[in-house]
Structure 1
Amino acid sequence: MATPLPLMVYLDLNHWYALGDALAGKPQNPDHVTALKQLQGHVERGEVMFPLSTVHYMELTENPRDAHRERAADAMALLSRFVTMAPGSKILDEELALELNRRLGRPAFPKKVTKFGIGVGFAFGEAKRMVLTGITEENRQELETGLGMSVSEFEASANATTEYWVLRGPPGTLRSAIENYDPYAARRVADDQLASFSVMINTLRTVPEVARRPMDAIVARQLSFDIIDNYTRALMSAGFVKQGPFHSRDDRTSFLMALPSRKVVTMMHFHYLKDVHRNWTINDLRDIAALSIAIPYCDVVVTDKKAWDTVVNRAHLDKEFSTPIFSSLTDLAKHLAV
C-alpha cells in the first residue's frame, strides 16, 4: 500500500504569530498550547506540512518588532521545516498553458510547475541551496572528520540556519547598519499596486455604468493589467502572436474563471467590492494573492475571520475546491484529529 502523502496546510501569518507566542510560553489563548503540541506531532509523524508563501516572508520582514519576528520564525522553523509554495506567477503560467491546451489544443505540451519545494529561494522562483563543490574525496573525508558529521548533514544544517535567519531577520539595532538592506522594498511595490487597484475601486464607486457590471471590470483589469505579462507570454507560446483566441467578453470571462488561482482572486474581489465603504489595504491584496494559491493547491487553509467569511459564506470557495477552510487554530486541530 502506498504511503499517504502529507496534508498541505496553509496558515495565515496571524496564526503563525499565535503559534510563536504559544511556543514562547506566552499563548494568546490557552487552546493554542494544545494545538501547537498536536500540530507538532502531525509534522513529526509526516502527516502534515505547513508550507510558507512569499507573503509570509514579505510581511514578516516588514514587522519592526524583533520579538514578534523571532517567535513567528521559531514556530515556522519547527512546523514548516522551510517547506514553501511556488510563487503565484509560476503557477499562473501553468494554469494558462493547461487551459489553452484544454480549450484549443495549444500549446501541445503545456508546462508543469512543482507547487511545493524547500526554502525562500523556491518561494520566490529561484531555488538555491548551499552546496559544497570542488572538493576531492580526500578533502571530503578530512572535512567530515573535522565537522563530526557528513558533508550532506553539514549542508542541511547550514541551509536550515540560513533559512531561519532569513525569516527572523536582523534585529532592529542592526538593520540600518547593513548595506543595501531594505525590509520595506516589497511594501513600496505593494503601495504602487494598491494605488493602481484603487483606480478600479473609484471607478466602480463613481461611474454608474461600470458599477452595474463589477464582474466585467474585475475580469478586464486582470487580463489587461494584473496578469497581462503571464497572459501575453502564454498566448505567444501557444502560437497566438498577432491576435488572441478570445473575441467576446463572455469568452474572456469564461477563460479567466477556469484558472483556479484567478477564480479565487475574482470571487474575493467581487465580494469585497460589494462593501462600498471598505477601506482597501495592502494586506487585503496580499491575503487574496496568498489565498489564490493556497485554496486551490493546499489541502486545508486557515485564514483570518474576514477572509474566512468571504471565501466560505459568500464565495463558497471551500466547496468549489473541496478545501476545508477555517479561521482558528482550534478548528484546525479538531479537523486534523478526526
Structure 2
Amino acid sequence: MDIVFLDQNKWIELAQVHSGRTTSGPMAELFPQLVAAVQRKRVLFPLSVSNIMETAKRNDPDSRRHVAETQAILSLGYAHRSRAGRMAVELRAAIQRRFGVEPVAMPPNWAFAPGFMQAFEPMDELMAMPEELARVRDLNSLTHPAALYLDFMVNQDDIRRRKAIATLTQGLAALVVRIESRRERFANKSIDFRRRAYAAQSWAENLNILNQTVAALGYSFDQLRALGDQAMRALLEDVPTMNVEVEMAARLESKTGALSANDVLDMQSFYTAIPYSDRVVAEKAAISRAKQARLDSKYGVALSRSLEDLLDLYVG
C-alpha cells in the first residue's frame, strides 16, 4: 500500500470536488479514483499535525466540514505520529548503529497511527502517559478514527477552537521571528554554512532526549563523543526527522523575501512526511527546496507539484 502526503492546498482542491463546487475536469475525475483506491487498500493519505491545525483554523463551518470530510475519507482517520514519537524511535536506532548494534525492526508503517490525536505528543502511544494512553485506546475502540476526526472538526466548541488557533498563530509568529533573526545573523552565508549552524542548534535543542536515549541504551555521552566528529555528523543524518528539518530549514532561510507562517508549516510537513511517504504532493517552492537537497533520492519518495500526477495512478 502506498503512503501519500498532501499539503493543505491539495486537500482543499479535493474538497472542492467533495463539496460539489468542482464538477468537471481533472480533479473531478481524480477524487473518486482516490476514494476507490483507499477502499481497496492500494493507497492511504495520513494527516500531519499541520494538516489538522490548518483544517481547524477554518472559521467557516461548512468549509471546515468539507475539508475534514475529504480528509476523513482518504486518511481513514490515520495520522503521522508526533515529532517526538518519531524522533525517539529514529534516534534510538541511529545510536545503536553508531555502536555497531542492529536496531530492533519496527513494524511496517509504524510512523502512522489510527486517531488524529496521535499526531500530538501527549496522546501519541509511543510517548503518552498511562492515563492518556488508556484514553486514546478507549476512544479508538469506541469510535472509528475517521468518525472521531470528523466529530472533532465539526462539533468542537467554537470558543475553544478559536483560542487554540490563536495560541497556534502566536507560536508560529514567534518561530518566524526567531528564524528571521537567524537569517539576519547568517546573511550572505552559504547553504552549507546554514546547514551546519542549524544542525548544531538542533543538537543543542535536543540534547536532553539524546542523553536520555544514550543512557537508556546503556552507554554514556562520553562514549558517543569518543566515536569522533564524523560519527556525530553521521548520527544527525541517520535521524530522518532531524535530517530533513535541517536540509529544509537551511534552504528556507536562504530564500529572499520575508518568511511566513506557511513557510514554517511547509517545513514541518516535509520533515514529517518525506521519510515515511511514497509520494508527497505539495506547493512548488517547498518541492523545489526538497529536490535541491536531494531528499527525494535519499528517502525514495516521489515529489510532485500537482495532484494531476495521481490521475489514473491507482486505477485498475
**Range of TM-score over shorter length:** 0.7 to 0.9
Relative to structure 1, the CA distance from residue 284 to residue 169 in structure 2 (aligned partners, 3 Å threshold; closer, same or farther) is farther
Would the aligned equivalents of 1:18 and 1:28 in 2 still touch at CA under 8 Å? no
Q: 1:304: which partner in 2?
A: 283
Would the aligned equivalents of 2:82 and 2:120 in 1 still touch at CA under 8 Å? yes
Equivalent pairs: percent with the same residue? 20
2:153 matches 1:167 = yes
CA distance in 1, matches of 2:86, 2:219: 21
CA distance in 1, matches of 2:269, 2:202: 16
Q: 1:324: which partner in 2?
A: 302
Relative to structure 1, the CA distance from residue 24 to residue 232 in structure 2 (aligned partners, 3 Å threshold; closer, same or farther) is same
**Equivalent position SS for 2:280:** strand
CA distance in 1, matches of 2:170, 2:215: 31
Deviation sequence 1:236-275 (CA, Å, 0-9, x none): 3234556362366544332211222222122212222332
**Equivalent position SS for 2:59:** coil
TM-score, length basis structure 2: 0.83
Aligned pairs (5 A) from 1:56-95:
56-95=51-90
Relative to structure 1, the CA distance from residue 111 to residue 58 in structure 2 (aligned partners, 3 Å threshold; closer, same or farther) is farther
Would the aligned equivalents of 1:97 and 1:110 in 2 still touch at CA under 8 Å? no
2:143 matches 1:156 = yes
Deviation at 1:292, TM superposition (A): 1.2
CA distance in 2, matches of 1:203, 1:29: 50
Deviation sequence 1:56-112 (CA, Å, 0-9, x none): 111222232333312111101221110111112111111111111011147x86695
Q: Unaligned regions of 5+ residues in structure 2, if any?
A: 126-135
CA distance in 2, matches of 1:85, 1:230: 20
**Equivalent position SS for 2:187:** helix
Q: 1:252: which partner in 2?
A: 232
Relative to structure 1, the CA distance from residue 202 to residue 235 in structure 2 (aligned partners, 3 Å threshold; closer, same or farther) is farther
CA distance in 1, matches of 2:50, 2:20: 26
Deviation at 1:291, TM superposition (A): 1.3
CA distance in 2, matches of 1:236, 1:104: 13
2:311 matches 1:333 = yes
Would the aligned equivalents of 1:326 and 1:332 in 2 still touch at CA under 8 Å? no
Deviation at 1:216, TM superposition (A): 1.8
1:215 is aligned, of 195, 199, 206, to 195
CA distance in 2, matches of 1:330, 1:204: 39
Deviation sequence 1:32-74 (CA, Å, 0-9, x none): 1111011011012111111011111112222323333121111
Would the aligned equivalents of 1:17 and 1:68 in 2 still touch at CA under 8 Å? no
Q: 1:100: which partner in 2?
A: 95
2:119 matches 1:123 = yes
**Equivalent position SS for 2:254:** coil
Relative to structure 1, the CA distance from residue 211 to residue 327 in structure 2 (aligned partners, 3 Å threshold; closer, same or farther) is closer
* Greater RCO (Cα-Cα under 8 Å, separation 6 or more): 2
CA distance in 2, matches of 1:12, 1:123: 15
Question: Max radius of gyration: which structure?
Answer: 1
Which letter does structure 2 place at the counterpart of 1:316?
Answer: R
Would the aligned equivalents of 1:61 and 1:168 in 2 still touch at CA under 8 Å? no
**Equivalent position SS for 2:184:** helix
Would the aligned equivalents of 2:191 and 2:251 in 1 still touch at CA under 8 Å? no
**Equivalent position SS for 1:27:** coil
Aligned pairs (5 A) from 1:185-334:
185-205=167-187, 213-225=193-205, 227-241=206-220, 243=222, 245-246=224-225, 250-275=230-255, 277-312=256-291, 314-334=292-312
CA distance in 2, matches of 1:46, 1:56: 22
2:161 matches 1:183 = no
Relative to structure 1, the CA distance from residue 166 to residue 270 in structure 2 (aligned partners, 3 Å threshold; closer, same or farther) is same
CA distance in 2, matches of 1:243, 1:283: 40
- Higher mean displacement: 111-120 or 16-25: 111-120
Relative to structure 1, the CA distance from residue 161 to residue 242 in structure 2 (aligned partners, 3 Å threshold; closer, same or farther) is closer
Equivalent residue pairs, number: 301
Q: CA RMSD in A?
A: 3.0
Relative to structure 1, the CA distance from residue 278 to residue 223 in structure 2 (aligned partners, 3 Å threshold; closer, same or farther) is farther
Relative to structure 1, the CA distance from residue 42 to residue 199 in structure 2 (aligned partners, 3 Å threshold; closer, same or farther) is same
Q: 1:54: which partner in 2?
A: 49
Q: Unaligned regions of 5+ residues in structure 1, if any?
A: 1-5, 133-151
Would the aligned equivalents of 2:281 and 2:303 in 1 still touch at CA under 8 Å? yes
